[in-house]
Amino acid sequence: MEELSQMVRQVSREAGADLVGIASIERFAELPPEHSPLSIFPEARSVIVVGKRIVRGALRGVEEGTQFSNYDLYIGNWLGPFLSAAVFEVSACLENNRWEAVPLMNLPTEIPAMGIAVRPGQPEPNVLVDIEEAAVRAGLGEIGYCGLLLTPQFGPRQRVEAILTDAILEPDPILTEPVCDDCRECAQACPLSAISLKEQTNYTIAGKQTTVGRIDYSKCAICQNGARPNRYHKDAPADRTAAICTRTCVAHLSDSGRLQDTPRLPFRRREPWTLLPNDIWSLDRRRNTE
Protein backbone atom coordinates (compact mmCIF):
# COMPACT_ATOMS: atom_id res chain seq x y z
CA MET A 1 0.00 0.00 0.00
CA GLU A 2 2.72 2.48 0.97
CA GLU A 3 4.83 1.75 -2.12
CA LEU A 4 1.88 2.23 -4.49
CA SER A 5 0.84 5.40 -2.66
CA GLN A 6 4.31 6.88 -3.07
CA MET A 7 4.27 5.93 -6.74
CA VAL A 8 0.96 7.77 -7.21
CA ARG A 9 2.36 10.89 -5.55
CA GLN A 10 5.57 10.73 -7.58
CA VAL A 11 3.77 10.26 -10.90
CA SER A 12 1.46 13.17 -10.03
CA ARG A 13 4.40 15.48 -9.40
CA GLU A 14 6.29 14.33 -12.48
CA ALA A 15 3.18 14.98 -14.57
CA GLY A 16 3.12 18.58 -13.38
CA ALA A 17 0.70 18.49 -10.45
CA ASP A 18 1.33 20.99 -7.66
CA LEU A 19 -0.99 19.24 -5.21
CA VAL A 20 -1.88 15.60 -4.61
CA GLY A 21 -3.88 14.14 -1.74
CA ILE A 22 -5.39 10.75 -1.00
CA ALA A 23 -8.61 9.98 0.89
CA SER A 24 -10.00 6.61 1.90
CA ILE A 25 -13.49 5.92 0.59
CA GLU A 26 -14.77 5.84 4.18
CA ARG A 27 -14.40 9.64 4.31
CA PHE A 28 -17.26 9.89 1.80
CA ALA A 29 -19.65 7.63 3.73
CA GLU A 30 -22.19 10.32 4.66
CA LEU A 31 -22.79 11.53 1.09
CA PRO A 32 -26.14 10.84 -0.61
CA PRO A 33 -26.06 8.49 -3.62
CA GLU A 34 -26.43 11.35 -6.12
CA HIS A 35 -23.07 12.78 -4.98
CA SER A 36 -21.23 9.67 -3.82
CA PRO A 37 -18.14 8.26 -5.56
CA LEU A 38 -19.50 4.78 -4.84
CA SER A 39 -22.43 5.43 -7.16
CA ILE A 40 -19.93 5.86 -9.99
CA PHE A 41 -17.50 3.12 -8.96
CA PRO A 42 -18.93 0.81 -6.25
CA GLU A 43 -15.56 -0.96 -5.82
CA ALA A 44 -13.66 2.30 -5.14
CA ARG A 45 -11.46 2.17 -2.05
CA SER A 46 -9.48 5.40 -2.45
CA VAL A 47 -9.98 8.85 -3.94
CA ILE A 48 -6.96 10.74 -5.27
CA VAL A 49 -7.28 14.51 -5.70
CA VAL A 50 -4.79 16.22 -8.01
CA GLY A 51 -4.39 19.99 -8.20
CA LYS A 52 -2.59 22.59 -10.25
CA ARG A 53 -1.95 26.13 -9.14
CA ILE A 54 -3.38 29.23 -10.73
CA VAL A 55 -0.30 31.41 -10.97
CA ARG A 56 -0.82 34.66 -9.11
CA GLY A 57 0.14 36.71 -12.15
CA ALA A 58 -2.90 35.40 -14.05
CA LEU A 59 -4.97 37.67 -11.77
CA ARG A 60 -2.76 40.74 -12.21
CA GLY A 61 -4.61 42.27 -15.15
CA VAL A 62 -7.95 41.88 -13.40
CA GLU A 63 -6.52 43.32 -10.17
CA GLU A 64 -5.39 46.39 -12.12
CA GLY A 65 -8.66 46.54 -14.09
CA THR A 66 -6.81 46.68 -17.40
CA GLN A 67 -6.59 43.14 -18.82
CA PHE A 68 -9.36 40.61 -18.26
CA SER A 69 -8.90 38.18 -21.16
CA ASN A 70 -5.56 36.87 -19.88
CA TYR A 71 -7.29 35.15 -16.95
CA ASP A 72 -10.02 33.75 -19.22
CA LEU A 73 -7.58 32.40 -21.79
CA TYR A 74 -5.09 31.06 -19.27
CA ILE A 75 -7.64 29.22 -17.14
CA GLY A 76 -9.80 28.05 -20.03
CA ASN A 77 -7.21 27.10 -22.64
CA TRP A 78 -4.11 26.17 -20.65
CA LEU A 79 -4.69 25.12 -17.06
CA GLY A 80 -7.45 22.57 -17.74
CA PRO A 81 -5.48 20.45 -20.23
CA PHE A 82 -2.36 20.49 -18.00
CA LEU A 83 -4.38 19.30 -15.00
CA SER A 84 -6.23 16.66 -17.01
CA ALA A 85 -2.90 15.39 -18.36
CA ALA A 86 -1.67 14.84 -14.80
CA VAL A 87 -4.90 13.01 -13.94
CA PHE A 88 -4.47 10.85 -17.04
CA GLU A 89 -0.88 9.93 -16.14
CA VAL A 90 -1.89 8.88 -12.61
CA SER A 91 -4.81 6.87 -13.97
CA ALA A 92 -2.54 5.15 -16.50
CA CYS A 93 -0.02 4.39 -13.75
CA LEU A 94 -2.71 2.66 -11.70
CA GLU A 95 -3.91 0.68 -14.72
CA ASN A 96 -0.33 -0.34 -15.50
CA ASN A 97 -0.27 -1.83 -12.02
CA ARG A 98 -3.55 -3.69 -12.68
CA TRP A 99 -5.81 -1.37 -10.68
CA GLU A 100 -8.82 0.42 -12.09
CA ALA A 101 -8.86 4.23 -12.19
CA VAL A 102 -11.84 6.50 -12.89
CA PRO A 103 -10.86 10.12 -13.69
CA LEU A 104 -13.37 12.80 -12.67
CA MET A 105 -13.56 16.37 -13.91
CA ASN A 106 -14.55 19.10 -11.50
CA LEU A 107 -18.13 19.67 -12.63
CA PRO A 108 -20.50 21.74 -10.47
CA THR A 109 -22.83 19.59 -8.39
CA GLU A 110 -25.59 22.11 -9.05
CA ILE A 111 -26.04 20.61 -12.53
CA PRO A 112 -29.34 18.71 -12.26
CA ALA A 113 -29.73 15.05 -13.14
CA MET A 114 -30.21 14.66 -16.89
CA GLY A 115 -31.47 11.09 -17.21
CA ILE A 116 -33.42 8.33 -15.55
CA ALA A 117 -32.13 5.63 -13.22
CA VAL A 118 -31.14 2.51 -15.16
CA ARG A 119 -32.21 0.19 -12.33
CA PRO A 120 -34.12 0.46 -9.03
CA GLY A 121 -32.16 1.85 -6.12
CA GLN A 122 -29.65 3.75 -8.25
CA PRO A 123 -29.50 7.55 -8.61
CA GLU A 124 -30.29 9.25 -11.87
CA PRO A 125 -27.37 10.19 -14.13
CA ASN A 126 -25.25 12.12 -13.99
CA VAL A 127 -23.82 11.57 -10.51
CA LEU A 128 -21.52 14.48 -9.65
CA VAL A 129 -18.96 14.47 -6.83
CA ASP A 130 -18.00 17.76 -5.16
CA ILE A 131 -14.28 17.73 -6.02
CA GLU A 132 -13.37 20.69 -3.80
CA GLU A 133 -14.90 18.92 -0.81
CA ALA A 134 -13.05 15.79 -1.94
CA ALA A 135 -9.85 17.83 -1.68
CA VAL A 136 -10.72 18.56 1.95
CA ARG A 137 -11.30 14.84 2.54
CA ALA A 138 -7.90 14.17 0.93
CA GLY A 139 -6.13 16.54 3.31
CA LEU A 140 -5.30 19.25 0.78
CA GLY A 141 -7.12 22.15 2.39
CA GLU A 142 -10.38 23.53 3.73
CA ILE A 143 -13.42 25.44 2.55
CA GLY A 144 -12.92 29.03 3.69
CA TYR A 145 -15.45 31.65 4.74
CA CYS A 146 -15.52 32.73 1.08
CA GLY A 147 -16.93 29.31 0.12
CA LEU A 148 -13.86 28.31 -1.92
CA LEU A 149 -11.19 25.66 -1.41
CA LEU A 150 -8.18 27.15 0.38
CA THR A 151 -4.87 25.31 0.52
CA PRO A 152 -1.82 26.15 2.66
CA GLN A 153 0.25 26.46 -0.52
CA PHE A 154 -1.89 28.74 -2.70
CA GLY A 155 -4.97 29.85 -0.78
CA PRO A 156 -7.85 29.95 -3.32
CA ARG A 157 -5.55 29.73 -6.37
CA GLN A 158 -5.88 26.18 -7.71
CA ARG A 159 -8.01 23.87 -9.80
CA VAL A 160 -8.57 20.26 -8.74
CA GLU A 161 -9.74 17.02 -10.33
CA ALA A 162 -10.04 13.52 -8.88
CA ILE A 163 -9.48 9.84 -9.53
CA LEU A 164 -11.43 6.94 -8.05
CA THR A 165 -9.53 3.68 -7.70
CA ASP A 166 -10.03 0.23 -6.23
CA ALA A 167 -6.44 0.33 -4.95
CA ILE A 168 -6.17 0.65 -1.17
CA LEU A 169 -3.84 3.62 -0.76
CA GLU A 170 -2.38 5.32 2.28
CA PRO A 171 -4.66 8.30 3.06
CA ASP A 172 -3.31 11.72 3.91
CA PRO A 173 -4.33 13.25 7.26
CA ILE A 174 -7.14 15.80 7.28
CA LEU A 175 -5.73 19.32 7.48
CA THR A 176 -5.93 20.60 11.06
CA GLU A 177 -4.09 23.93 10.87
CA PRO A 178 -6.59 26.49 9.47
CA VAL A 179 -5.80 28.49 6.35
CA CYS A 180 -8.74 30.89 6.71
CA ASP A 181 -8.40 33.15 9.78
CA ASP A 182 -12.05 34.31 9.60
CA CYS A 183 -11.03 37.86 8.70
CA ARG A 184 -14.13 38.16 6.47
CA GLU A 185 -12.38 40.67 4.25
CA CYS A 186 -13.85 38.78 1.28
CA ALA A 187 -17.33 39.78 2.48
CA GLN A 188 -16.29 43.36 3.24
CA ALA A 189 -14.77 43.76 -0.23
CA CYS A 190 -17.83 42.63 -2.19
CA PRO A 191 -19.58 45.75 -3.58
CA LEU A 192 -22.82 43.77 -3.98
CA SER A 193 -22.80 42.35 -0.43
CA ALA A 194 -23.12 38.87 -1.90
CA ILE A 195 -21.22 37.32 1.03
CA SER A 196 -22.86 37.94 4.38
CA LEU A 197 -20.71 39.25 7.20
CA LYS A 198 -23.02 37.78 9.84
CA GLU A 199 -25.09 34.92 8.40
CA GLN A 200 -23.19 31.70 7.93
CA THR A 201 -23.52 27.98 7.37
CA ASN A 202 -21.77 25.42 9.56
CA TYR A 203 -21.26 21.86 8.37
CA THR A 204 -18.84 18.99 8.67
CA ILE A 205 -16.63 17.39 5.99
CA ALA A 206 -15.10 14.09 7.11
CA GLY A 207 -15.10 15.27 10.71
CA LYS A 208 -13.66 18.72 9.87
CA GLN A 209 -15.82 21.63 11.01
CA THR A 210 -16.47 24.16 8.24
CA THR A 211 -17.94 27.67 8.44
CA VAL A 212 -18.95 29.45 5.24
CA GLY A 213 -20.60 32.84 4.90
CA ARG A 214 -24.06 32.83 3.34
CA ILE A 215 -23.52 33.63 -0.34
CA ASP A 216 -26.18 35.07 -2.66
CA TYR A 217 -25.00 33.54 -5.92
CA SER A 218 -27.61 35.48 -7.90
CA LYS A 219 -25.54 38.59 -7.11
CA CYS A 220 -22.32 36.83 -8.13
CA ALA A 221 -23.99 36.12 -11.50
CA ILE A 222 -24.22 39.86 -12.25
CA CYS A 223 -20.89 40.85 -10.66
CA GLN A 224 -18.69 42.95 -12.95
CA ASN A 225 -15.70 42.89 -10.61
CA GLY A 226 -13.89 39.89 -12.06
CA ALA A 227 -16.48 37.11 -11.67
CA ARG A 228 -17.15 34.92 -14.69
CA PRO A 229 -20.24 32.85 -15.62
CA ASN A 230 -19.84 29.16 -14.88
CA ARG A 231 -18.48 27.51 -18.00
CA TYR A 232 -20.37 24.26 -17.40
CA HIS A 233 -23.90 25.32 -16.44
CA LYS A 234 -25.77 28.61 -16.44
CA ASP A 235 -27.35 28.00 -13.02
CA ALA A 236 -24.14 26.93 -11.27
CA PRO A 237 -22.22 29.50 -9.16
CA ALA A 238 -20.02 31.91 -11.08
CA ASP A 239 -16.27 31.46 -11.26
CA ARG A 240 -15.10 33.86 -8.55
CA THR A 241 -11.36 33.18 -8.70
CA ALA A 242 -10.66 36.56 -10.33
CA ALA A 243 -13.49 38.40 -8.53
CA ILE A 244 -12.69 41.07 -5.97
CA CYS A 245 -13.76 38.83 -3.07
CA THR A 246 -11.22 36.16 -3.98
CA ARG A 247 -8.51 38.63 -4.98
CA THR A 248 -8.94 40.21 -1.55
CA CYS A 249 -8.51 36.77 -0.01
CA VAL A 250 -5.32 36.27 -2.05
CA ALA A 251 -3.99 39.62 -0.85
CA HIS A 252 -4.84 38.98 2.80
CA LEU A 253 -3.44 35.46 2.98
CA SER A 254 -0.26 36.50 1.18
CA ASP A 255 0.31 39.64 3.25
CA SER A 256 -0.34 37.85 6.54
CA GLY A 257 2.17 35.10 5.72
CA ARG A 258 -0.40 32.32 5.88
CA LEU A 259 0.63 30.77 2.56
CA GLN A 260 3.71 28.79 1.60
CA ASP A 261 3.68 30.45 -1.84
CA THR A 262 4.43 34.11 -1.06
CA PRO A 263 6.17 36.21 -3.76
CA ARG A 264 8.52 39.06 -2.92
CA LEU A 265 6.02 41.85 -3.59
CA PRO A 266 2.49 42.16 -2.15
CA PHE A 267 -0.37 41.20 -4.45
CA ARG A 268 -2.43 44.33 -3.79
CA ARG A 269 -0.43 47.52 -4.31
CA ARG A 270 -3.21 50.04 -4.96
CA GLU A 271 -6.73 50.66 -3.74
CA PRO A 272 -8.91 48.05 -5.50
CA TRP A 273 -11.41 49.18 -8.07
CA THR A 274 -15.09 48.20 -7.81
CA LEU A 275 -18.11 48.54 -10.04
CA LEU A 276 -21.81 48.43 -9.12
CA PRO A 277 -24.59 47.74 -11.66
CA ASN A 278 -25.25 51.51 -11.91
CA ASP A 279 -21.58 52.04 -12.72
CA ILE A 280 -21.88 49.58 -15.63
CA TRP A 281 -24.94 51.42 -16.91
CA SER A 282 -23.04 54.73 -16.74
CA LEU A 283 -20.03 53.27 -18.57
CA ASP A 284 -22.21 51.82 -21.32
CA ARG A 285 -24.03 55.14 -21.69
CA ARG A 286 -20.72 56.98 -21.91
CA ARG A 287 -19.41 54.59 -24.61
CA ASN A 288 -22.59 55.11 -26.67
CA THR A 289 -22.37 58.88 -26.52
CA GLU A 290 -18.69 59.37 -27.16
Residues 169, 201: contact at Cβ < 8 Å?
no
- The letter for the amino acid at 209 is Q
CA dihedral 168, 141, 264, 188 (to 10 degrees): 160
Where do the DSSP E strands lie in the chain?
Answer: 19-24, 46-53, 101-104, 142-143, 149-150, 158-165, 195-205, 208-215
Position 261 scores a pLDDT of 86
User: What stretch of H or E contains 94?
Assistant: helix 80-96
- The pLDDT of residue 262 is 82
Q: Does the reported pTM lie above 0.85?
A: yes
pLDDT 10s per residue in the chain (290 long)? 789 999 999 999 999 999 999 999 999 999 999 999 999 999 999 999 999 999 999 999 999 999 999 898 888 777 888 999 999 999 999 999 999 999 999 999 999 999 999 999 899 999 999 999 999 999 999 999 999 999 999 999 999 999 999 999 999 999 999 999 999 999 999 999 999 999 999 999 999 999 999 999 999 999 999 999 998 888 899 999 999 999 999 999 999 999 998 888 999 999 999 998 766 544 444 444 55
Determine whether 107 is exposed, middle or buried from the number of CB atoms within 10 Å of its CB (0-12, 13-18, 19+).
middle
Q: How many CB atoms lie within 10 A of CB 162?
A: 26
pLDDT, residue 235, reads 85
pLDDT computed for residue 289 by the predictor? 53
d(CA 279, CA 5): 53
Look at residue 246 and give its three-state secondary structure: helix
Calpha distance 261→238 (Å, rounded): 25
Distance CA 80, CA 73 (A): 11
- Give the H/E segment covering residue 73: helix 69-73
Exposure letters 239-278 (e unless 16+ CB within 10 A, then b): bbbbbbbbbbbbbbbbeeebbebbeeeebeeeebebbeee
Closest CA to 187 of 132, 246, 274: 246
Residue whose C-alpha is closest to residue 248's, from 215, 229, 271: 271
Task: Give the number of residues written for the chain.
Answer: 290
Query: Is the preceding peptide bond at 126 cis, omega within 30 degrees of 0?
Result: yes
Domain ranges of the chain: 2-277
Nearest to 164 by CA among 101, 92, 206, 95: 101
Say how far apart CA 56 and CA 50 lie, in whole Å.
19
